[in-house]
Amino acid sequence: MKFGTKAIHAGVEPDPTTGAIMTPIYQTSTYVQRSPGDHKGYEYSRTHNPTRTQLQNALAALENGKHGLCFASGMAAIDAVIKLLAPGDEVISTNDLYGGSYRIFTKIFQNYGIKFHFTNMADLSKVEALVNENTKMIWVETPTNPLLNIIDIKGCAEIAKKHNLLLVADNTFATPYLQTPLDLGADIVMHSLTKYMGGHSDVVMGALIVNNDDLHERLAFIQNACGGTPGPQDCFLILRGLKTLHLRMERHCQNGRKIAEYLKNHPKVEKVFWPGFEDHNNHNVAKEQMNDFGGMISFVLIGDKVEDATHVLEKLKYFALAESLGGVESLCGHPATMTHASIPREERMKAGLSDSLIRLSVGVEDAEDLIADLEQAIG
């Protein structure tokens, strides 16, 4: 199946009881057994739920994986992955990382004896230089949040294989429409389904997709034992969102290109971060591992003043000032005080995330209206 057909059909089947074409919401906590241990594959909804099963199957299919696992949030999915490790283990990750990931790494798991190294992963020599006998995992986020840096997944996979490490790829910004990390050598793909996969800003959920049976078994044990699972209503909403993922992503990419080019030519804009530009760091890697360049854009105004950025954010109308991204509506944000506020300013500045950086999640509205909105806000 090509991607559009897969988004609608793969991993889901009509309800065997009624023939319902849409997966029913199995709003139940438990299931009747014929005899002790004699059941129909479902015992308790923390462990399994038919609505969640269909969603997990669909996600696995879209990522060209074998197993999918859903969690109550993207953070719950990250939590499950790091619980594969033990005190004394070390993880290498990017220095341009989603603030929530940085927070759980440094404020939670570091307290349990797991060490994290943050480096510029656009340069793979810096990644391999950090590998030692305690290293167990490489955590990749590409494109990164919010500087849209591109990390070579295949190159990281070669390093991981050489040193017998787990490679995890956060694919939230790209979605499987733009790249499939398992095909490039990743062991685990992570998603905040809240974003593009759901696409309508009405649900919070996370997911992991793997090929390895043993890895799936270990993560499924953590999923059930720790209990960070989503409810069936939320699973239904993500299933609904997946059916238009290809259509939405196509429009996000089209609009993203127009907005990025508009901003690059604006006399008041100093720098635009968007992987589709030839002068963007690792643009050639993006061309090779992605099908397009997405609808996420960050930019800095000339002068790099916080008050100027604040003025623009307050004036935007179609771009709503709000946390999150990936919905059909356009959003704008100020990473330094919103999504990345948990990262110390010194660390943010080292990575190039200035106090005045503006991040845009370009929606599926008419691009001309979005450009007009930016024009009136920037001046």
Shared domain check, 221 and 364: no
Q: Residue 339 pLDDT more than 80?
A: no
Q: Are residues 214 and 291 in the same domain?
A: no
pLDDT for 72 equals: 98
Kindly tell me if the per-residue pLDDT of 323 is higher than 80.
yes
Q: What is the pLDDT of residue 111?
A: 97
Average pLDDT over residues 358-362: 97
Are 202 and 267 in the same domain? Answer: no
Choice among 195, 257, 348, 359 that is catalytic: 195
Mean pLDDT of all residues belonging to the chain? 96
The helix (H) or strand (E) run that includes residue 109 is none
Distance between CA atoms of 138 and 167, rounded to whole angstroms? 5
Domain boundary among 240, 271, 289: 240
pLDDT above 80: residue 307:
yes
In this structure, the answer to whether residues 236 and 269 fall within a common structural domain is no
- 222-245 average pLDDT score: 98
CB atoms within 10 A of CB 38: 7
The yes-or-no answer on residue 359 being catalytic is no
Q: What is the pLDDT of residues 176-208, one digit of tens each?
A: 999 999 999 999 999 999 999 999 999 999 999
Q: Where in the sequence is the domain holding 355, given as residue range(s)?
A: 245-378
Say which of 170, 187, 234, 292 is annotated catalytic: 170
Choosing from 98, 177, 262, 318, the catalytic residue is 98
Give the pTM.
0.96
98 catalytic residue (yes or no): yes
User: Does residue 46 carry a catalytic annotation?
Assistant: yes
User: 138 and 122, same structural domain?
Assistant: yes
Question: Is 31 an annotated catalytic residue?
Answer: no
CATH code: domain of residue 40? 3.40.640.10
On whether both 222 and 265 belong to a single domain, the answer is no
Structure tokens at 180: 């499939």
The answer to whether the bond into 143 is cis (omega within 30° of 0) is yes
Cα separation, 116 vs 119, whole angstroms: 10
Res. 350 pLDDT band, cuts 50 70 90: confident
Residue 143, pLDDT > 90, answer yes
Whether residue 214 is found in the same domain as residue 250: no
Query: Could you tell me if 176 and 305 lie in one domain?
Result: no
CATH of the domain at 364: 3.90.1150.10
Question: How many domains would you assign to the chain?
Answer: 2
Q: Do 231 and 306 lie in a common domain? A: no
Q: What is the pLDDT of residue 361?
A: 98
Domain end: 221, 240, 259, which one?
240
| Residue at a domain's end among 180, 209, 240 | 240
- Taking the mean position of all CA atoms in its chain, how far away is CA 50? 24
